[in-house]
Amino acid sequence: MTIIGTNLPTVHQRIARACQAAGRVPAEVTLLAVSKTVAAATVLEAYGFGQTAFGENYIQEGLEKINQLRELPIQWHCIGPVQSNKTRLVAAHFDWVQAVDRFKTAQRLSQQRPANLPQLQVCIQVNVDGSAAKSGVSPQDALALARQVIALPHLRLRGLMSIPEPAPDFAAACATFARVKALFDELNAHGLALDTLSMGMSADLEAAIHCGSTLVRVGSAIFGGRPLKAAIL
Ligand SMILES: *Cc1c(COP(=O)(O)O)cnc(C)c1O
């Protein structure tokens, strides 16, 4: 068995256990395999083990893999920041964009989404722990941005995404994830019909699932450690 062939079932098992502990069913949680820095051949290998949703941070690197694997029914998520000069390529080649945090980007993505493709699925990235280095809209601005995004014809707003600072333990991770979940519920109480709460990574997916995550973004637990350059970005 290859490393991916043993890692993927282990991650599925972690998700199943976390769901069980939280009184949820595993079907509520999508596993997104984060394939940044991983070769297309490795993505193909994971696909062979049944993994169909992949996330890429770096646009150019993602586009190369999307192109190489274009015959396969893979769902590609752009999970990194999207600069204005990259929106056209992202709108043309990805299925999801998870890190929308300003209206201008959303507007460009909608304008540039090719008419023959379904709506681009988007999440708004929220910055709940106020970390200065990270992108993401502040919780108090999320509702206004969500309403603007919903009005765009070629986007479909699916939910929220968050990348909190690594927490020392389960309780600390939960405290932050619970804030994202509360914001998610608040937006839905305003009638937004969001169904996707993207939070949780290799180190903290259990806490995220405990707090209501519906999509965990897992890289190293599937593919092994990344080179340091990628890990610090
Ligand atoms: C790299 C990355 C992940 C995956 O991180 P791991 O700790 O390797 O699971 C998830 N989300 C985002 C936005 C990332 O950049």
> Measured between alpha carbons, how far is 31 from 210 in angstroms, rounded to an integer?
15
For residue 109, pLDDT beyond 90: yes
Q: What is the pLDDT of residue 227?
A: 65
79 CB within 6 A, ligand 1: yes
> Measured between alpha carbons, how far is 29 from 11 in angstroms, rounded to an integer?
12
Judging by beta carbons within 10 Å of its beta carbon (0-12, 13-18, 19+), is residue 227 exposed, middle or buried? exposed
Nearest atom in ligand 1 to the alpha carbon of residue 218 is: 9
Q: What is the pLDDT of residue 137?
A: 97
Q: What is the pLDDT of residue 174?
A: 97
> Measured between alpha carbons, how far is 162 from 213 in angstroms, rounded to an integer?
10
Question: Residue 153 Cα, ligand 1 centroid: separation in angstroms?
Answer: 30
Q: What is the pLDDT of residue 130?
A: 76
Band (133; pLDDT cuts 50, 70, 90):
low
78 CB within 6 A, ligand 1: no
Q: What is the pLDDT of residue 106?
A: 98
Q: What is the pLDDT of residue 63?
A: 98
Nearest atom in ligand 1 to the alpha carbon of residue 32 is: 10
Nearest atom in ligand 1 to the alpha carbon of residue 163 is: 13
Largest CA distance in the chain: 49
Q: What is the pLDDT of residue 233?
A: 45
If you take atom 5 of ligand 1, which residue's CA is the nearest one? 219
145 CB within 6 A, ligand 1: no
Encode pLDDT of 182-210 as tens digits.
999 999 999 999 999 999 999 999 999 99
For residue 159, pLDDT beyond 70: yes
Nearest atom in ligand 1 to the alpha carbon of residue 226 is: 8
216 CB within 6 A, ligand 1: no
Model-level pTM?
0.95
Contact 54, 35 (CB under 8 A): yes
135 CB within 6 A, ligand 1: no
Question: Residue 219 Cα, ligand 1 centroid: separation in angstroms?
Answer: 5
Q: Residues 6 or more apart from 127 whose CB is under 8 A from it?
A: 101, 134, 135, 136, 137, 138, 139, 162
Q: What is the pLDDT of residue 129?
A: 86
For residue 231, pLDDT beyond 60: no
> Measured between alpha carbons, how far is 61 from 76 in angstroms, rounded to an integer?
12
